Structure 1
Amino acid sequence: MQVILAQPRGFCAGVVRAIEIVDRALVKHGAPVFVRHEIVHNKHVVEELRRKGAHFVENLDEVPTGAVTIFSAHGVSKAVEAEAQEHQLHAIDATCPLVIKIHNQGRQYAASGRTVILIGHAGHPEVEGTMGQIPGKVILVQNEADVAKLELPPDTPVAYVTQTTLSVDDTRNIITALKQRFSNLVGPDTRDICYATQNRQSAVRELSKRVDVLLVIGATNSSNSNRLREIGTESGVPSYLIADGSELNPDWVRDAQVVGITAGASAPEAMVEDVLAALRRLGPVEVSTMEGREEHAEFRLPAELVDAQPISH
Structure 2
Amino acid sequence: MPVCVSPASFPPADKPPLDVLICAPRGFCAGVVRAIDAVEKALALYGPPVYVRHEIVHNKYVVESLRRKGAVFVDELDEIPDTTAPVIFSAHGVPKSVPREAVTRRFFAIDATCPLVTKVHREAEVHHKRSRHVVLVGHAGHPEVVGTMGQLPEGAISLIETIADVARLLPPADQELAYVTQTTLSVDDTAGIVAALKARFPDIVSPHKEDICYATTNRQEAVKRVAPQVDAMIVVGSPNSSNSQRLREVAERAGCPVSRLVLRAEDIDWSLFGDIRRLGLTAGASAPEILVEEIIDAFALRFDVRVETVSTADESVFFPLPRDLREQATV
TM bracket (short chain): over 0.9
1:68, CA displacement in angstroms? Answer: 1.3
TM-score (norm 1): 0.95
TM-align CA RMSD: 1.5
1:192, CA displacement in angstroms? Answer: 4.2
Structure 1: state its 5+ residue gaps: none
Give the structure 2 partner of residue 39 of structure 1: 56
Helix, strand or coil at the partner of 1:286:
strand
Give the structure 1 partner of residue 130 of structure 2: 112
Which residue among 124, 138, 151 is the counterpart of 1:133? 151
Give the structure 2 partner of residue 253 of structure 1: 273
Give the structure 1 partner of residue 13 of structure 2: none
1 CA distance for matches of 2:172 and 2:147?
Answer: 27
Which is further off, 168-177 or 114-123?
Answer: 168-177
TM-score (norm 2): 0.90
- Give CA-to-partner distance per residue, 1:146-204, whole Å, 9 cap, x none: 11111237784100000010143231111111111113210114444300000000110
Residue type matched to 2:106 in 1? Q
Helix, strand or coil at the partner of 1:110:
helix
Which residue among 151, 155, 170 is the counterpart of 2:189? 170
Which residue among 21, 28, 39 is the counterpart of 1:11? 28
1 CA distance for matches of 2:271 and 2:227?
Answer: 19
1 CA distance for matches of 2:146 and 2:171?
Answer: 22
Contact 1:25–1:308 (CA<8 Å) still a contact in 2? Answer: no
Which residue among 242, 245, 251 is the counterpart of 1:223? 242
Residue type matched to 1:105 in 2? E
1:73, CA displacement in angstroms? Answer: 0.1
Answering whether residue 314 of structure 2 is matched by residue 297 of structure 1, we say no
Which residue among 41, 50, 58 is the counterpart of 2:75? 58
- Give CA-to-partner distance per residue, 1:186-238, whole Å, 9 cap, x none: 01144443000000001101011211100000000000101111111112211
Task: State percent identity of aligned pairs.
Answer: 52
Give the structure 2 partner of residue 266 of structure 1: 286
Answering whether residue 103 of structure 2 is matched by residue 103 of structure 1, we say no
1:308, CA displacement in angstroms? Answer: 6.3
2 CA distance for matches of 1:190 and 1:228?
Answer: 22
Count of aligned pairs between the two proteins: 309
Contact 2:93–2:117 (CA<8 Å) still a contact in 1? Answer: yes
Structure 2: state its 5+ residue gaps: 1-17
Give the structure 1 partner of residue 204 of structure 2: 185
Give the structure 1 partner of residue 171 of structure 2: 152
Correspondences of 1:187-206 after superposition (within 5 Å):
187-206=206-225
2 CA distance for matches of 1:106 and 1:135?
Answer: 11
1 CA distance for matches of 2:285 and 2:82?
Answer: 33
2 CA distance for matches of 1:154 and 1:278?
Answer: 58
Residue type matched to 1:229 in 2? R
Helix, strand or coil at the partner of 1:209:
helix
Residue type matched to 2:241 in 1? S
Which residue among 286, 300, 304 is the counterpart of 1:280? 300
Residue type matched to 2:189 in 1? D
Residue type matched to 1:271 in 2? L
2 CA distance for matches of 1:262 and 1:158?
Answer: 37
Contact 2:180–2:211 (CA<8 Å) still a contact in 1? Answer: no
- Give CA-to-partner distance per residue, 1:87-121, whole Å, 9 cap, x none: 21110000000000000000000100100010000
Contact 1:168–1:190 (CA<8 Å) still a contact in 2? Answer: no
2 CA distance for matches of 1:286 and 1:239?
Answer: 20
2 CA distance for matches of 1:220 and 1:163?
Answer: 17
Residue type matched to 2:320 in 1? R
1 CA distance for matches of 2:245 and 2:185?
Answer: 11
Residue type matched to 1:151 in 2? L
- Give CA-to-partner distance per residue, 1:246-293, whole Å, 9 cap, x none: 111222221111000000000000000110111011121111111220
